[in-house]
Every structure is written in C-alpha cells, then in structure tokens.
Amino acid sequence: MTLVERFLKYVSFDTEASESTQVTPSTPGQMVFAKYLKTELESLGLEDISLDENGYLFATLPGNMDKPVPTIGFIAHMDTSPDMTGKDVKPRIVENYDGTDIVLNESQHIILSPKQFPELLSHQGEDLIVTDGTTLLGADDKAGIAEIITAIEYLKAHPEVKHGKIRIGFNPDEEIGLGAHKFDVEKFGCEWGYTMDGGDLGELEFENFNAAGAKITIKGRNVHPGYAKDKMINSLRVANQLISMLPADEVPERTTKYEGFYHLIGMQGTVEETTVSYIIRDHSRELFEKRKENMIQCVNQINAQYGEGTATLEMKDQYYNMREKIEPVMHIIDTAFEAMEAVGVKPNVKPIRGGTDGAQLSFKGLPCPNIFAGGLNFHGRYEFIPIQNMEKAVKVIVKIAQLVAEKA
C-alpha cells in the first residue's frame, strides 16, 4: 500500500473525539481504527505489538546494528477534532495545483480560495488532498500515522539503512487534551520521541503554551424587575462586568507568536446564576502564573462588591511548556534539524500556540518535540494536505533514525 493509499484509507474511519463521554477512548470509532492499525502492523512483521483497553497501540521495529543505539519513538494520534464532523470523509486529489480557487462543493458554494487562504500559493504545482466541503479531512493526525507506518515499512524493506530500535505509538483523544494521560511512558521504553503532528512543511516545535482552564460560577438574586431596586443581583450583568476586568487586547484574535491570552470559551446563564468558562495561555511560566493570579483577583473584586460567595472560581492547570524539558536534551532538536536539511526541507522552528501530546509526555519523562505532518487548515472543511509534504515527512523520519544510529 502506498503512502497516499494508506492515508486515504485512514480518513475513512470516523474517529471524532468527544469531551462528554468520560471514557477512553472517548468514542468507539477510535478503537475500531486502532484494531485496524494493529492488524496492519502485524502484517508488516513488527514486534511487541500491544493494544490496551484504552486504545493505546504500541509496536517495535528492532534495530539492525551490533552497537548500542538509543531507542527512539514516533508518535501520532488517531482521533480527529470535535470542531467538525469526520464521518463519511470524501477526499479527492487536486493534481498539479495551479493557484486558483478550488471548488470543494459546487452545490453548497464551498470554495477553498487563496484569497482567504494565501498559504495555498506556496503549494502551486503540488498535488493537494482536499475535502468535499462537508467534513474535515483528518490529516490531523492521520497523515502522521500514515507517514510513520510508511517510514517503518521502508526501513524494514531496506536493511542497508542502519538504525536502532524504533518504537511507534498511536494514541486516542489528543484533540480533547487527553492523549497523553494514559500513555504508559515506561512501557513505551524510549529515550526520546517525536510526535508527527505539526502543520506545514518544515515545522519543528519544542515550545508550547502553559495552559489552565477556569470556570467562574456567579450567583445572582432574582427579584421581580418592577421591585428590584437595591435588591436584584443580575448574574449575567455581573459576569459581563468580570469579563470587562480582563485585558481587552489579550485575547486570541489580537495576539500572536509568544503572546499569551485569556480566551472566553463559554457563557451560560440566567439572572439567578451564570457560568463563565475561560482558557488561560502563556509561553512564559512567570506570565502564566500572573495571569492566573489576575483571574483570582477579578473574582475577589466581584465578591468584595456583591458579597462573599457571589463568584466562585474553579481553576486547573492543563499542561506546561515543554521547552524546560527539551533544553537539557537539545541534541534531539539538532538531530531533527539536521534530518530535515539532509532531505531538502528548510526547518521552521516556531512555538506552538496551543498544546501537543509531546508537552505532556515530556513532563512524564519522555522528551518529545513535534515535527510537521504536512497538513494545513486543520479542524475544518478547508483542511488540505500536499502529498509532497507527506512524502518529505516520511524521508525525515527515516533520516532521523539513520542519524541517531550514526551518532551513537
């Protein structure tokens, strides 16, 4: 099976994650896909193949050298984002893209245009896999899975390419922030790993946000509006007051690069009670802690004005910037950088304005930066991936394995 055939098969599985089920994997389709992948890995003759009850699939390609070589891992996630359906994906290939509009769905007037997505113009002359406009594609991260398996298949078929022991890991529920929670790092048994879960060609990431979630519940006092003077506390208005206390420019739509933010993700309520939900993000651990403290102070101000217990805050850290775990082992970044250059890819080292399984894995003892899988416009109908990006990712994986062996 070719790389493209493999990818097109994988996106036919509905593996959309769900935040509501409270089980792992969060949806049954992920386990269906995991069982299919297990069968494929068995057919390739890999060793130590295991699939646990939570949907974590591990396998080994043994090394082919006499000297000791570090065991490394390549990791990708099986789920797709709940932001848009991944059921009945109908991909097609736009060959030799000419830089013009791509009609994804004529009947619904859905167009992938370089006017809205100028990154398309960087891929003129390439072959793009696109959606039919009614679903996401699933390149995040089924492209990563296809690339890893294709690279492992190549290494197995070409014993002249020397490498150490390689572990591969495919996990569920990355898209809901739980991909690494039940990942057994000790069982995986690597000195370091790479997630193949980045975006466009050349992306190499070892910095991500520190992240927390905050939920503020505001208790109001409902009184007939005709007799409400000096009696009513309208929790909806108090919630808006709290929102206005936070810096207006420190939101996702007005920040970039290393700038952090407060992101309002939900607001539900009545006069009697309102709930406001935020995510808090910053690359700097110091600024991250200050953001959390600012949130606490805002809640305290509300209680000082309206009475203790009016506002209650639940705040929980979600993940941290993996940079502090990667810096002591920067040779793993140097190796990825060198591998990209060796196969003709210009490395683009950049911070992740989000999270990654690699961040949590790094804090569990498995340093794990993130490498491009090649897709663009993830989580929506305009998602696409150039086939040439995927082919380059395969070459990067192979070259990393080769370089690790050479440097041992």
Q: Find out whether 311 and 216 touch, Cβ atoms under 8 Å.
A: yes
Question: What are the domain boundaries of the chain?
Answer: 3-207+322-407, 210-318
Q: Tally Cβ neighbours within 10 Å of residue 36.
A: 15
In three-state secondary structure terms, 245 is: helix
Following DSSP, what letter does each residue of 106-147 receive, concatenated? Answer: TTTTEEE-TTT-GGGGGGTTS-EEE--SSS---HHHHHHHHH
Helix (H) or strand (E) holding 8: helix 3-10
pLDDT at 356 over 90: no
Angle between helices 28-43 and 139-157 (to 10 degrees): 10
Helix (H) or strand (E) holding 399: helix 387-407
C-alpha distance from residue 270 to each of 9, 51, 225, 245 (Å) = 47, 46, 14, 20
Return the CATH fold of 210-318.
Alpha-Beta Plaits (3.30.70)
Report the relative pairing of strands 72-77 and 166-171 from DSSP bridges: parallel
Query: Which residue has 């060609």 as its token pair?
Result: 201
Instruction: Kindly report, residue by residue over 196-248, the tens digit of the pLDDT.
Output: 999 999 999 999 999 999 999 999 999 999 999 999 999 999 999 999 999 99
pLDDT, averaged across the chain: 97
Instruction: Grade residue 355 by pLDDT with cuts at 50, 70 and 90.
Output: confident
User: Cα(45)–Cα(159) distance, rounded to whole angstroms?
Assistant: 14
Out of 3.30.230.10, 3.60.20.40, 3.40.630.10, 3.40.50.300, which CATH number does the structure's domain 3-207+322-407 have? 3.40.630.10
pLDDT at 354 over 90: no
pLDDT at 289 over 90: yes
Q: Are 3-207+322-407 and 210-318 equal in CATH topology? A: no
C-alpha neighbours within 13 Å on the C-beta side of residue 171: 27
Q: Find out whether 162 and 19 touch, Cβ atoms under 8 Å.
A: no
Which residues, at least 6 apart from 248, have a Cβ–Cβ distance to it below 8 Å? none
Q: Find out whether 238 and 244 touch, Cβ atoms under 8 Å.
A: no
Q: Which two tokens stand for residue 87?
A: 């059921």
What is the set of active-site residues?
Answer: 79, 174
Sign of CA dihedral 4, 5, 9, 12: positive
What pLDDT is attached to residue 341? 98
Sign of CA dihedral 311, 314, 319, 324: positive
What percent of the chain is modeled with pLDDT above 70? 100
User: Cα(238)–Cα(274) distance, rounded to whole angstroms?
Assistant: 9
Instruction: Grade residue 332 by pLDDT with cuts at 50, 70 and 90.
Output: very high
